[in-house]
Amino acid sequence: MSTTTTKEPGAVRRRSPRRLGDAIFSGVATGAGVTILVLLAGVAIFLLIEAWPAISAPAEELPGGEGLVDFILPLAFGTVLAAVIALMLAVPFAIAIALYITHYAPRRLAQGMGYLIDLLAAVPSVVYGLWGIFVLAPASFGILKWLEENLGFLPFFTGPASSTGRTMLVVGVVLAVMILPIITAVTREVFLQTPRGHKEAALALGATRWEMIRMAVLPFGRSAMISGSMLGLGRALGETMAVTIILSVSGAVTFNLISSGNPATIAANIALDFPESSGIAVNALIAAGLVLFGITLVVNMAARAVINRRREFSGAG
Amino acid sequence: MSTPPRDRQRQSEEELAREREPGPDREGGPDRKERPQDRDGGDQVVGHESSRGDELTARPSLVQGSLPRWGPQAVFAGVTAVVAGALLLIGFNIALLLLASVVLSGVAIYSWARVVEGRRKATDRAVTLAVASAFALALAPLVSLLFTVASRGLGRFDAQLFTETMRGVLGEGGGIAHAIIGTLIITGVATAASVPIGIMAAIYLHEYGKGRLKRALTFFVDVMTGIPSIVAGLFAYALFVLFFGPGIRLGVMGSVALSLLMIPIVVRSTEEMLRIVPNHLREAAYALGVPKWRTIVKVVLPTSFAGIVSGVMIAVARIIGETAPLLITTGVFSSINTNPFDGRMQNLAVFAYNEYANPGVPNEPYIDRAWAAALTLLLIVMVLFLVARLISARYGVKTR
């Protein structure tokens, strides 16, 4: 803090003429940093340029013929629906797994178990898609049928149950598996940082392990659980191939999760239609991509803001 | 200190024996005498051992009131066996078996512990079971997925697969040589572009950066890790379409898209590695009069080299399986193309997707090829992942 005011020899030395090598090297490093920021800005700018023809075009020229908003809105609905299902399934599991690895598993095995969960993140999404359509979807028919018969009074399970299993619910399950590792990783890291004193104080008061976790670990990790979930949400919103392969799309806006008529997601719609599109349709798809970019950017920025705030105030990160 | 080992051993044995017996010796005189007062005085007594002493008089044995050590495991094994037997009668189903045995043994352990140990410990045991089975359940998809890919992919996992292309192939036969070459080129170009930018940006962040630019860069690199891969593909398309016109498909477009996904991963992992280089190494170099940039190049980077390499490999493993951005930038192509600046280029992930999505009739050979490509891709990713872990475990900076 006070190095600029004191007249120590070191402070004087620092002001001596800079070496050329240092100037070049730090210049290159700073340049690389600025390049990344420019790249990110470039994503927004170039998407906007290519989406503009669709934004300014008259409604009847666009695919669907009812304007850009009517084109994107059902897709945005499907995107959010699939991501929310995935999140609701994944978060409890991810927190339980993070707790298991940090507080229950044998010390020696804990790291290896962490790797196993990380391995889930390394599997390419197209492999998840193939697995989903050939293994999970056929296997899910019995459960979908059961849901229709026993919980059919809920709007989510009115049916009729799809006999192929290519439904929103199965997509949600696959997405949940895919976002599990990132939520686990974020929460696990913070659970490990719980101050030892908090935990030992709880145990010394006679708390059982679960009571200790509820009193010390979970309150400490609350913001990590929130931000990890939001990172997972961002991942699920943008996930493409698994949805493209598994979901049977009809374009309907419906909460019915187990029938064969489902709303598509933005990302899946782009992957399905882009290779065969031309002209204004491509611009419309890019506009949809811009909306997706905006949604994920907001979700991710919120998540990072939560993480950074915790880092500043807790002093543990 | 001077006692011979045997004496010391005997001594410790005596101590153990003394600890084992719950008699008055261990509790010590004064505590024992105060005990009747404790019971009368209630809250007013300020002895921290008083309540424990109470329990001891009420319960002669310390091990009373807890399940045997093997209790939960035995219950789980027993319940699983019973459920398996019952399921064999009505039709076996592995998912149902796991679900039923977890739920039923949870109920059994909870009620047993509730009777013997009380509510709090029963809850604790139930939670332990729930948390452990959540972990096991999360591994189920991984196991199922690996098994499926291996068993279905091995059908076409032969020499022909790796030596031939899809040129002129309809129906059976054909290979993925062109897709493997395309994958290597696209990923290689992306890596060559991302690694220098990523490492230099990380050096800026950790060694030079300060103020607003550093904060902004840290924040936006984090945000960039969350960009959907399809958006990266759209960006590459939007960029190139300005110069080459609509419908453009190039290998290098895929590389641009992948770079966008790879750079933030490289920055993140490299910065982590620079952070664990001990500061006294830098200070030693400065003390010898070494300029800062030479310190970074000759001291900091070599020290963290293994970690950076493993971080780059994990980043490569992440992007090599990307499908969506390549589907819309590099397209589909059935022959070998080694020039990323000239025309369409096939890659493994897109190949697997395309064989599944646009099969001919009959579709079995196409689906088989899709699984074989998926298996190849998965093997590449797993090898990269494991080698990266090995490198960082064996050669990484020792933090403690």
Prediction pTM value: 0.82
Contacts of B267 in chain A (CB under 8 A): 36
Can you tell me the distance from the alpha carbon of A184 to that of A206, in angstroms, rounded to the nearest whole number? 29
Q: Would you state the structure tokens that stand for residue B41, as one six-digit string?
A: 């005085």
More confident residue, A159 or B256: B256
Q: What distance in Å separates residue B9's CA from the closest CA in chain A? A: 30
Give chain B positions within 8 Å (CB) of A278. Answer: 246-247
Q: How far off is chain B from A195, nearest CA to CA, in Å? A: 19
Give yes or no for residue B48 having a pLDDT over 50: no
Contact B246 A33 (CB under 8 A): no
Interchain proximity B374–A180, CB inside 8 Å: no
In chain B, what percentage of residues exceed pLDDT 70? 82
Provide mean pLDDT across the span A215-238: 88
Count of pairs with CB atoms under 8 A, one residue in A, one in B: 274
Q: Residue B109: what pLDDT?
A: 83
pLDDT exceeds cutoff 80 at B2: no
pLDDT of B40:
41
Q: What's the distance, Cα to Cα, between the start and end of chain A in Å?
A: 22
Nearest residue, CB atoms, A46 vs list B238, B352, B381: B238
Kindly state whether B274 is in contact with chain A, defined as any CB-CB distance less than 8 angstroms: no
pLDDT, tens digit (0-9, with 9 covering 90-100), for B176-185: 999 999 999 9
| Vertex A111 angle, CA A106 and A114, to 5° | 110
Tokens matching residue A299:
């979700």
More confident residue, B180 or A314: B180
Task: Determine the residue type at B18.
Answer: R
CATH superfamily placement of domain A57-314: MetI-like (1.10.3720.10)
pLDDT band at A263 (very low <50, low <70, confident <90, very high): confident
Name which residue leads in pLDDT, A270 or B392. Answer: A270
Residues in chain A: 317
Q: What's the pLDDT score for residue B377?
A: 93
Q: For residue B6, what pLDDT is reported?
A: 47
Chain B residue whose CA is closest to A175: B141
* 3-state DSSP assignment of residue B166: coil
Q: Residue A22 and residue B293: Cβ atoms within 8 Å?
A: yes
Distance CA A151, CA A159 (A): 10
Q: Which pLDDT tens digit goes with each residue over A104-158?
A: 888 888 888 888 888 888 899 999 999 999 998 888 887 888 888 888 788 788 7
Cross-chain Cβ contact B145/A125 below 8 Å: no
pLDDT exceeds cutoff 50 at A10: no
First and final CA of chain B: distance in angstroms?
32
Higher model confidence: residue A65 or residue B123?
A: B123
ipTM of the complex: 0.86
Chain B residues near residue A130 by CB distance under 8 angstroms: 149, 352, 356, 370-371, 374
Give A18's pLDDT tier (boundaries 50, 70, 90).
low
What does the pLDDT look like over B221-251, one tens digit per residue? 988 888 999 999 999 999 999 888 888 888 8
| Angle of CA points A291, A293, A297, to nearest 5° | 120
Return the CATH number of the domain spanning residue range B162-395: 1.10.3720.10
Contact A47 B239 (CB under 8 A): no
Mean pLDDT within A289-314: 83
CA distance A170 to A8: 68
Amino acid A33: pLDDT: 92
| Separation CA B25–CA B30 (nearest Å) | 11
What is the C-alpha to C-alpha distance for residues A136 and B310, in angstroms, rounded to an integer?
33
**B21 has pLDDT over 50:** no
Distance CA B251, CA A220 (A): 47
- Asked if pLDDT for residue A48 goes beyond 90, the answer is yes
Mean pLDDT for chain B overall: 80
Residue B284 has a pLDDT of 93
Report d(CA A163, CA A140) in Å as an integer.
9
Q: Nearest by CB to B120, which of A120, A211, A244?
A: A211
The per-residue pLDDT for B63 is 53
Compute the average pLDDT of residues A307-312: 72
Cβ–Cβ gap B231/A299 under 8 Å:
no
Return the structure tokens found at B193: 């572009």
**pLDDT band (50, 70, 90) for residue B16:** very low
CB of B385 within 8 A of CB of A122? Answer: yes
Give helix B305-320 / helix B251-275 axis angle, nearest 10°: 150
Which chain A residues are closer than 8 Å to B95 by Cβ? Answer: 139
Using one digit for the tens of pLDDT, what is the confidence trace for A185-196? 989 988 888 889
**Which residue, among B66, B223, B263, would best test binding to A if mutated, counting the most A CBs under 10 Å from its CB?**
B223
- Residues from chain A contacting residue B190 (CB–CB below 8 Å): none
Q: Worst-scoring range by mean pLDDT, A45-59, A261-275, B32-46?
A: B32-46
Residue B95 CA to residue A139 CA, distance in Å, equals 10
When pLDDT is averaged across residues B1-28 and rounded to a whole number, the result is: 45
Looking at the complex, report in whole angstroms how far the Cα of residue A43 sits from the nearest Cα belonging to chain B.
6
Distance from CA of A158 to the nearest CA of B (A): 24
> Residue A9 pLDDT > 70, yes or no?
no
User: Dihedral angle at the C-alpha atoms of A75, A79, A84, A87, nearest 10 degrees?
Assistant: 170
Show me where the domains of chain B are located.
71-153, 162-395
Residue A7 has pLDDT above 50, yes or no: no
Mean pLDDT on B242-266: 91
Instruction: Tell me what the pLDDT averaged over chain A comes to.
Output: 84
Which tens digit of pLDDT belongs to each residue from B100-125?
Answer: 788 888 888 888 888 887 788 888 88
The predicted pLDDT at position B25 comes to 42
Token pair recorded at residue B271:
């910065």
Over range A254-279, report the average pLDDT.
84
Average pLDDT on B115-144 reads: 86
For B313-342, the pLDDT digits (tens) are 999 998 998 999 999 898 888 888 888 888
Asked if A261 contacts A242 with a C-beta cutoff of 8 angstroms, the reply is: no
